[in-house]
Structure 1
């Protein structure tokens, strides 16, 4: 089982739509592989898209999963663990897994889903309290941080993809602690350059503003517990301008991002699965209307129709050449997942 997190502490990078297209295309290209998507975001947008999107009653279908007994979502599983935080109770992990292909025919049948849940925000408060508890003979932080890993230990999948929240909250740390690899989407702007540096501070405890913070870092706690840290597997420069691409005014920023990655590779090669910038980065153009329509219809680019379509009662046009460009970009990303 190889576990990927799609994460960036910075919001607005198009992470969820990119993750949706990447995972569904990966599943289409690998039909014999069992794939699990875990939606570790309280907004649960990934779940809504997989369950039908806006046009396919994705929100209603998500509520139906959350209304099951036990609650069929990551929030339902965490509810169970809050009652027994340091000693896993007897339970069936399958109770928390949905099968989106049975609800949304556009989704490959080899994808399963642990739905997102707004309960995560409320649960995070309890998680933090438990993780900081002083209990003799118990590593409380590790007990909580292992919750997702313990769920995965009861399941059998070839690949797991975790869509995360743009934060470093406790549930995000739980996701990263269960991961082998991280895919980091960034934008062609200076804040994304800073986001790459921030990611290394948060995950690996590097370049901290003061040594005071070093003993409290995620990395320090993981290493002290004998746990491996996830490695950066792919940095996706997302939403490049549709018409001008990397030849635009953003080029200087993109070159700067590559320079930052190159320096990090030289200084901290142990935190990457790749050894060159070319092997570990991918450029993705803005999907524009094509992406909006796919998002709303819960539909991968590969099977999405083109021409004049209806979206929220309005007619929109998806040009075949734009859909083709979007699919090529996703195929390039998928080619770097192993």
Structure 2
């Protein structure tokens, strides 16, 4: 049975894309069939998986969504890239910004991405959606299409402070549009445990949210290796399989496979 996970936070630079890549490829390394969907106009996920110029791609998530809006037939293979590390990718690019405006005038606009996801569910074990850093129409579409939301949070005060709005939005989507939606967990990222500051923030997150929301035991350490891997268009496993950040993403993968248990 397929599980659809959105990776979301309206704050940029918290490790959403890095987590999408390394969780997705981590799951593929465990024998799972995985589709990664780039739902960010910046195309960061696409670039991180080796697509040099996302804005020049002919068929992207925006193309597929427009076909659904126009009630055209959808080929499940259309636009899919097959990455060397065993995951499939539906790229995204700047055209998604136009889609945000287009969907404003579409009936049941929050449901468009779900139509595509339902077509793909029988083909994959996991579908992971890398959301844009906002709570706009495209992110709402991703939440409506998903079974759960994974929330990466940088171990710093301002990103943690913004969590409340995201949790409120997730609750609203669950109540009005997607009853099955749950929070997969909060993932602490860019953690430097050499500093008291990071330790204090991490403790504060667990104290504030840990009672009601799952918080992953795995934490992602601050590391230049992750950025280097993205620049090469590969995962952290392909770049530096034995480094601390690779180990952390392996542990996160295990937690997701075990539903946090």
Q: TM-score, normalised by structure 1?
A: 0.70
Unpaired runs of 5+ residues, structure 2, are: none
Which secondary structure does the structure 2 equivalent of 1:337 belong to? helix
1: CA distance between counterparts of 2:227 and 2:93?
Answer: 23
Give structure 1 regions of 4+ aligned residues with deviation exceeding 4 angstroms. Answer: none
For the 8 Å contact 2:47–2:230, the answer to whether it is kept is no
Matches within 5 A, 1:147-296: 147-155=112-120, 156-205=123-172, 218-222=173-177, 227-241=178-192, 244=194, 248-263=196-211, 265=212, 274=214, 277=215, 280-288=216-224, 290-296=225-231
Shift of 1:100: 2.6
Residue 317 of structure 1 is matched in structure 2 by none
Unpaired runs of 5+ residues, structure 1, are: 53-57, 102-106, 131-139, 206-217, 266-271, 306-319
Structure 1 residue 124 corresponds to structure 2 residue 100: yes
Which secondary structure does the structure 1 equivalent of 2:186 belong to? strand
Residue 9 of structure 2 is matched in structure 1 by 8
2: CA distance between counterparts of 1:78 and 1:7?
Answer: 19
Q: Deviations over 1:227-264 (max 9, x none)?
A: 315211121110012x61xx62322222111111134x
Q: 1:122 to 1:63 in 2, by over 3 A?
A: closer
Between structure 1 and structure 2, the one with the greater Rg is: 1
For the 8 Å contact 1:235–1:281, the answer to whether it is kept is no
Residue 144 of structure 1 is matched in structure 2 by 109
Question: RMSD in angstroms over aligned alpha carbons?
Answer: 2.0
Shift of 1:298: 1.4
* 1:332 alignment partner, one of 240, 251, 254: 251
2: CA distance between counterparts of 1:332 and 1:154?
Answer: 30
* 2:65 alignment partner, one of 78, 82, 94: 78
Q: 1:169 to 1:144 in 2, by over 3 A?
A: same
Matched residues, number: 254
2: CA distance between counterparts of 1:204 and 1:151?
Answer: 23
Residue 81 of structure 2 is matched in structure 1 by 98
Which secondary structure does the structure 1 equivalent of 2:96 belong to? helix
Shift of 1:95: 1.4
For the 8 Å contact 1:38–1:113, the answer to whether it is kept is yes
Shift of 1:189: 1.7
Which secondary structure does the structure 1 equivalent of 2:52 belong to? helix
